[in-house]
Structure 1
Amino acid sequence: MNRLLALIAFLAFLAFAGFLLVLIVKVPSPDLIAVSVLTIGLAAYDFLTSSRGRRW
């Protein structure tokens, strides 16, 4: 069950990153690129740290 939810979260992350990448390509503003890259990086960090297996 956890792997299924992780897969769904990963697919949602890819869709989010794809949307931001399309936005970057269509509107090449340096500020927008910086904010989008920072947002993708923070989302990736959150995904990686929250998907670690924790054993209590």
Structure 2
Amino acid sequence: MNRFLALFAFAVLAAFLYILVRKVGTLDLWVVVGLTVALAGYDFLSSSKNKS
């Protein structure tokens, strides 16, 4: 369940940032949003691994 909620939160964040970038459309904002999504994706993948 936690993995599902984390994936849902990541999808909502990515969708919000995509809408923002499409509306503004500058290159530097694309770069910042790309880095933000990459870091959030890395955090999702590293924190949702099975801990044994």
- Pair in the same fold by TM > 0.5: yes
Give the corresponding residue for 1:11: 8
TM superposition shift of 1:5: 1.1
Question: 1:48 and 2:45 equivalent?
Answer: yes
Looking at structure 2, the residues matched to 51 and 9 of structure 1 have their Cα atoms a distance apart, in angstroms, of 8
Tell me the TM-score normalised to structure 1 length: 0.88
TM superposition shift of 1:18: 0.2
SS at match of 1:54: coil
TM superposition shift of 1:54: 1.4
TM superposition shift of 1:9: 1.0
Among all aligned residue pairs of Structure 1 and Structure 2, give the percentage whose two residues are the same amino acid. Answer: 42
Give the corresponding residue for 1:35: 32
Q: Is the radius of gyration larger for structure 1 or structure 2?
A: 1
Structure 1, unaligned runs of 5 or more: none
Give the corresponding residue for 1:26: 23
Runs (4+) of structure 1 exceeding 4 A deviation are none
